[in-house]
Structure 1
């Protein structure tokens, strides 16, 4: 809908309020419910939003190490602009109109810390090269018969999973919780997040959902909204959902893999496919993959943004540990799928479910375009067999601190994403490391309290 159509819709249906939200640096949705008069009045000028939302962490603790905002700026309002093309209604909240916003103009120019603005900039660069970026993200997450209050009361221990045992691709488990599962699929579809597939994964109470592929901006919007939507739908059923990368050391982690391909601007030809190639990969596809392989060490925190992310990236846990690629191999960092021309694509397997979709997709597209612009050759040999045992091209950094220091000092990262963004983002990741370093964990208490 355009502005005229949306205005008419609101007036004809006597809509009194609308809801809008945007993703902060951690991918957490922040937003408001506002009166329709305020909504209509701000369509051109935007809506003032305190920029503390980019000056604090996921627990609302203010950073002390960023320049963009802080006590030294007085935390002023910054204009948040609603993207009218994102209009949808929230079916589990009486169909209240909902929009996504960001802090930039149509070209993505604006607040350097805004994740959606970054993706807009990189997408525009991609389209200027004549490419249509087609993306999708898939998520795994665990579900518990808990409430936000019971999590606090139990100190996040001894939680009750939605279902017991390890039962991937189970028909029984989805039937056992059919009302919840049907609500997830049906309500997400009504919220314009159509799922390509939905099933249980291996682990107690864990599900996986793959979102239908589309243009990268819509794909990122869908992915960002899915995480909050799943949580809200789960609340309706007395369930809490978590997208932590690794909530339990004895269970598999939760992936957030990104599927991507480049098409011609008319969307009639998949530019990643070449039927004459041994792997059905076009030269463009190889350059794009070479760019991702080359850039990965420079942008890893975009794919693994939390302390917890790196506890998923361990050997034998369905997540990569080496900088590798292969056709149809789930032990490598990058997996090429080439069954048909229409579905030929690259799967970037490093991201976990804890990623900010706007940042993860920005990193994937920017690094792929780097390979194309620099005509990088795919010199890294394809992995045959177990990718965990192939470290010839390097290993993925084992923790957030080392990955962040690499990114902060990287000229490649600044070239891909902009120096202002890299400075702000890496400072927020170093803050995260500091918060963890000073905390006393259950592991330390159990190991040292009595014995030492």
Structure 2
């Protein structure tokens, strides 16, 4: 495959290659090399300073090597002189780096395969587009449309069209794109695929959305709740376990309750059981918890349902090979490799321990009284990053899933973020408390 890539680069006159990976926070990182260095990079990887990458290493253990995964090589249709390739991270001694988020997911997928499952996901990826002024982003949306609105072609629609066009050209299989509920809010859905492939595509999508938006003078943000009073931005993740040959959906049982198999029900049980522990990874920023509040369609309560969109987990219509569950609390600001890894691990733990989920809740949970929720045993997700980190720090399950390095470094970085955030004095406090205290 290496020779095929080199031949393609020569024939297509590609000049630049971005070697890409992610830090533990979900930020896309890149080292650009000229085409003349590609053969060496494919054979040996490229050295970089890991101490400069959030959550990777300290300054005394900083040397790392980014080794390209040849299967991820792509020439960009909108910039044909440039290609990208996603990397695995290695230590100088040739061992995989335990702090590489892609490696965390690869380990989880290997465990699933040892249980004869193949994990597939399909994310609904949301983002906001804001106008820019003097080269800086504002909070002014690029449009004032609503859910599925279609009107005169605007910059937001052009951004969506260009992105799904690029993804289609490189066979990344975009399903659809549409305007979301809030002004300036948009969604791009990716077709189901192997979870590692989809996490790689989210990395590409994050970088592409930012780049294409700037071409139209707009700023794209994945911040979960940039504007008070409107819906926040989520990344609902549809997911299934297939047989290893992909010929059978292991969530489907025509004779099971709701046509769901024991595997599906125990998987749901595992996700619910570990909901508190996984929230810090699925919703990893202080701002994530401004989205997870009642009244804006975001899930708040640990429950599952078939049709009810106020539940944390929903089982959408469609059976047979289309059988899937939808986890609704992840947001696009996080790291997709870690997000996919922890949701898979939670589901597999439910299967291994045969965790039975409670009965589905088909009533609107947002409209229930606290007493009714207590009667039904419905608990809430963590209400802040601090609370989520508390649950994460006490979880031996999450320590095993993430590995010591990611577990400890994530807690260190995020506790610092939470500490700095808690010390801030906000406009709300000044406006509402200063005049009366």
TM-score (norm 1): 0.89
Specify every segment of 5 or more residues in structure 1 that has no aligned partner in the other structure, as ranges.
Answer: 57-67
Is 1:397–2:382 an aligned residue pair?
A: yes
Aligned to 1:441: 426
Aligned to 1:112: 98
Helix, strand or coil at the partner of 2:151: helix
C-alpha distance in 2 between matches for 1:53 and 1:195: 33
CA distance 1:178–1:256, shift in 2 (3 Å): closer
- Residue 328 (structure 1) aligned with residue 314 (structure 2): no
- Output aligned runs, 1:37-436, within 5 Å: 37-55=36-54, 69-71=57-59, 73=60, 76-104=62-90, 110-146=96-132, 149-151=135-137, 156=138, 159-164=139-144, 167-172=146-151, 178-378=157-357, 380-388=358-366, 389=368, 390=373, 392-436=377-421
The 1:375–1:450 alpha-carbon spacing in structure 2 relative to 1, beyond 3 Å, is closer
Distance 1:286 1:266, change over 3 A: same
TM-score between both structures, scaled by the size of structure 2: 0.92
Q: Deviations along 1:149-169, whole A, 9 cap, x unmatched? A: 233xxxx5xx321112x5211
Which one is further off, 390-399 or 120-129?
Answer: 390-399
Contact 2:142 2:155 in 1 (8 A): no
Q: Distance in 2 between matches of 1:217 and 1:147?
A: 38
Q: What is the CA–CA distance in structure 1 between the aligned matches of 2:180 and 2:42, rounded to whole Å? A: 43
> Unaligned stretches of 5+ in structure 2?
none
SS in 2 for 1:234: helix
Which stretch of the first structure deviates more once superposed, 310-319 or 333-342?
333-342
Relative distance call for 1:284 and 1:366 in structure 2 (3 A) is same
Q: Is the 8 A contact 1:113 1:425 kept in 2?
A: no
Deviation at 1:91, TM superposition (A): 2.2
Does the 8 Å contact 1:261/1:344 carry over to 2? Answer: yes
Distance (Å, rounded) in 2 between the aligned partners of 1:296 and 1:309:
15
Distance 1:42 1:409 in 2: 41
Distance in 1, matches of 2:318 and 2:25, equals 35
Tell me if structure 1 keeps the 8 A contact 2:234–2:332. yes
> 2-side partners of 1:14 and 1:208: how far apart?
34
Residue-pair matches, total: 428
Structure 2 residue matching 1:250: 3-state secondary structure: coil
Distance 2:38 2:133 in 1: 33
